[in-house]
């Protein structure tokens, strides 16, 4: 039986290339995105490798849609062997989601936190299983302020994005601790500086991308570490490791701080309506 991999943000960019790479490696895929025509095009590429591919529409700016997505995945997928939390957003202005949460934090952290929690029993039952979190070196631009997760003061685009990526790493740290001994392996990664649709709303960023275009990696190259952790022995071991360029790299202490990781986990549980 082929293993099943769920890939979020799979309609374009790194997520699309991750899905195709995982399919080529022998996995069936469940693809999550917001754009059905693009998602179906990616699914067709995956089917061309011999994989079964199912598509799911969900907007991670809505926690209700994340809950509906989890219910659909649990209904349709008897096994979930790999979850790749890839979906993300980079915004140029502070916005609130339908749940009343700061959008960058909600989409990049709360949504994958909730999805992972809701799928964790199925992942554990499918063990050996893996959770792969697409973080970023941009976490270095973020900080941790448990008293102001929503950045009601001092909001700036890169600071908000950096904090959300720092949260990805802290989430990885705490999740790895909690699943120890269950057969689920949790790791995160920096995909490199990749030209994707992530910052399509940021006009300044788009100008900058044109100027430095020759130095930017392709989405296919950016997906390599995700595929590596999802499908090869590199992703076998649990431990919340941080991978860059396909190899583990020592993370800064503040990105794996156990006190902040636990506080983020507990606060996130309250925000999404789960027990810690």
CA distance 31 to 230: 14
CA distance 262 to 276: 9
CA distance 34 to 26: 25
Question: What does DSSP say about strands 4-7 and 247-249: parallel, antiparallel, or unpaired?
Answer: unpaired
Looking at the domain covering 4-270, what would its CATH class be?
alpha beta
Residue-wise pLDDT tens digits, 59-100: 999 999 999 999 999 999 999 999 999 999 999 999 999 999
> Domain extents for the chain?
4-270
Of 56, 101, 113, 161, the active-site residue reads 161
Instruction: With cut-offs at 50, 70 and 90, classify the pLDDT of residue 205.
Output: very low
The pLDDT of residue 144 is 87
Active site residue 56: no
Nearest Cα to 54, choosing from 62, 65, 46, 66?
46
Quick one: which H or E segment has residue 65?
A: helix 63-76
CA distance 273 to 246: 35
Residue 110: exposure state from Cβ atoms within 10 A (0-12, 13-18, ≥19): buried
Question: Which pTM value belongs to this model?
Answer: 0.93
**Maximum C-alpha span of the chain:** 51
Query: Is omega for the bond preceding 56 within 30 degrees of 0, making it cis?
Result: no
CA distance 251 to 200: 29
Residue-wise pLDDT tens digits, 11-33: 999 999 999 999 999 999 999 99
């Amino acid at each position: 039986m082929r293993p099943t991999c769920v890939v979020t943000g799979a309609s374009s960019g790194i997520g699309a290339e991750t899905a195709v790479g995982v399919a080529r490696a022998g996995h069936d895929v469940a693809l999550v995105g917001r754009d059905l025509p693009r998602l179906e095009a990616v699914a067709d590429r995956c089917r061309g490798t011999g994989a079964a591919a199912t598509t799911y529409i969900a907007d991670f700016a809505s926690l209700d849609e994340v809950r509906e997505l989890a219910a659909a995945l649990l209904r349709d997928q008897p096994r979930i062997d790999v979850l790749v939390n890839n979906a993300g957003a980079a915004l140029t202005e502070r916005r609130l989601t339908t749940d009343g949460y700061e959008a960058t934090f909600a989409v990049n952290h709360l949504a994958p936190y909730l999805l992972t929690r809701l799928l964790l029993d199925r992942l554990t039952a499918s063990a050996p299983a893996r959770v792969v979190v697409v973080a970023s070196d941009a976490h270095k631009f973020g900080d941790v302020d448990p008293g102001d997760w929503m950045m009601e003061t001092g909001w700036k685009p890169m600071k908000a994005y950096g904090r959300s990526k720092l949260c990805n790493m802290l989430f990885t740290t705490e999740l790895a601790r909690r699943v120890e001994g269950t057969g689920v392996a949790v790791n995160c990664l920096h995909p490199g500086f990749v030209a994707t649709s992530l910052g399509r709303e940021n006009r300044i960023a788009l100008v900058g991308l044109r100027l430095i275009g020759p130095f930017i990696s392709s989405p296919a190259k950016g997906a390599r570490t995700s595929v590596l952790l999802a499908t090869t022995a590199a992703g076998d071991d649990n431990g919340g490791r941080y991978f860059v360029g396909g190899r583990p790299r020592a993370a800064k202490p503040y990105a794996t701080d156990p006190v902040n990781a636990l506080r983020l986990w507990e606060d996130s549980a309250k925000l999404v309506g789960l027990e810690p």
